[in-house]
Amino acid sequence: MKKYLSKIIYLSLTVFLLAGCSSDQDSTDEVIVDPPTQDDPLTTSNAASYMVDASATKETVALFYNLKRLSQTKTAIGQQDAFNSFYQDAGGDSDIKKNTGFDPAVLGSDFMFITDKSNNEQSDNWFYQQEQKIIADTKAAYAKGIINTFSWHLREPYNEDSFYTADMTSEQKSTAFKSILPGGANNEWYKKKLDKVASVVSNLKGSNGELIPIIFRPFHEFDGSWFWWGADFCTADEYKKAYQFTVDYLKNTKGVHNILYSFSPDNSYTTETSYLNRYPGDKYVDIIGMDNYGDFSNQGQTGSDRANSKLKILSDYAKAKVKIAALTETGYRVTSTTPAITDWFSTLLYSALTKNDIQISYVMFWNNNTDGYYVPNSSVSNANDFKTYSLKTKSALVNSLPKMYEMPK
């Protein structure tokens, strides 16, 4: 479905960078034996061999390992722009923290403003100011032990005005995605955008100078027709080539080694075969994701069960291939004219994330704003529903996470 996306005007906040999340382990700590099994071959020593980037930094390898292990018992709760998007523009702590007392376990950000054509990297430039705020938020999240994930609403290569096909001409829609492939008219343009992404990610550093790992989710919801990279505007082979080029360019050409790569269609699939139709291959994907608003749009337990069956496809594939499964976007937006659904979080969503022995590492809700919210703060009608959900056995806010950037010993 075409989700709501406002052009966020970030509020000015003073971000206090907390102490780095790494800590020295006492040499007398008990060593936990981590043997492979027939069903789960992952170990602390072989984790990198299952990743896209065999040269990933140790913190990035630890994040992969810990996300996989976390999914076996809990699902981390996240929100897009959690530090800057508040219901009714009420600043301060994240709306999740206002409700529960704890920050989210996952922070969602976007490269959209960072790679915008109007970002001239000058201090008085609004887009550059957003870049600096996103960087500061990412560092603050890392220091708190929060997981960072980035989407990319990349504007089309012709006028760079929009990422929605509704704003493009028929000719632009039919040629835009093809044009960014190697040999295409806009491949150099696309490489410059990737250069900017690489520059930012390569300079994300913690308090000890270590690179901060991120999850990167390019070309999401590609099975729909609302984005210019959608299935109506490129073949499966073209999509795979663009995804592969993106990974290879960042990893091999630019030498970026602090990224986990996420693949996430919308919810149109019902079988593993249809899910994998545009899959670029196990060598290019760390996180098997899905965005799903439609099955949760006031369809009760029927929709929840439908979402669960799709998540099971992801979970089963992730188990078989030693990948990580995630619900990379979801939510039900409450406004003055769209009331909350009773027990949406604590029953409908939670059952979708937990039934049938599935393993989902994290769930990401979209951002709140002046007119509506996906995650309730403490003052709205469904605040207790969310708080109940956050306290359930298989839910995790930041206070329930292990040290995500350190290998267990």
d(CA 351, CA 74) in angstroms, rounded, equals: 13
Rounded to whole angstroms, the Cα distance separating 227 from 92 reads 33
CA distance 154 to 151: 9
Question: 83: which DSSP letter?
Answer: T
Helix, strand, coil distribution of the chain in percent, nearest 5: 40, 15, 50
Q: Residue 265 in contact with residue 290, Cβ under 8 Å? A: yes
Alpha-helix runs per DSSP H in 44-87: 58-71
CA distance 395 to 258: 26
Per the residue annotation, which of 160, 221, 238, 406 is the catalytic one?
Answer: 221
Phi, psi of 110 (to 5 degrees): -145, 140
Q: Which residues pair with 324 in a beta bridge?
A: 287
For residue 119, what are its two tokens? 């970002």
Q: Among this protein's residues, is 171 annotated catalytic? A: no
What is the spatial distance between Cα 89 and Cα 70, in angstroms, rounded to a whole number?
Answer: 33
3-state secondary structure of 63: helix
Query: Of these residues, 156, 210, 329, 406, which one is catalytic?
Result: 329
d(CA 112, CA 1): 20
* Catalytic positions: 221, 329
